[in-house]
Amino acid sequence: MFEAGPVLDPGALARRIPAGVRFGTSSWNYPGWRGLVYRERYKGRGASTRMLEEYARFPLFRTLGIDASFYAAPTPEILAGWAADRAAWEWRTAAIRLPY
């Protein structure tokens, strides 16, 4: 039987990761992270934006892969929305996947 180990503090773990190492995911819209990354359950209009804001504050995520853009090029409005909260993203990087 598997026994769970101690619950680790994400901030403490982030401080132990070398500056050049960046962890991230291919999306920020994952409701299963409620309680770990997201403080509450987001639904409806604006949910994705609020999830992105919380993702940007999560100490272990220093980068983000944007794969939604692979299926259709993002509009200027979508790009502006992603960039709107610059303070949260100033030390992070993002990789945008585009169709070819």
Determine the longest span between alpha carbons in the chain, in angstroms: 51
Cα 71 to chain centroid, rounded: 19
Phi, psi of 24 (to 5 degrees): -165, -175
**Cross-strand partners of 94:** 64
pLDDT of 1 over the 60 cut: no
Question: Domain map of the chain by residue range?
Answer: 22-96
DSSP 8-state secondary structure symbol assigned to residue 61 = E
Residue 72 to residue 56: CA distance in whole angstroms? 23
Span 9-38, pLDDT tens digits: 889 999 999 988 888 888 888 888 888 888
pTM over 0.75? The answer is: no
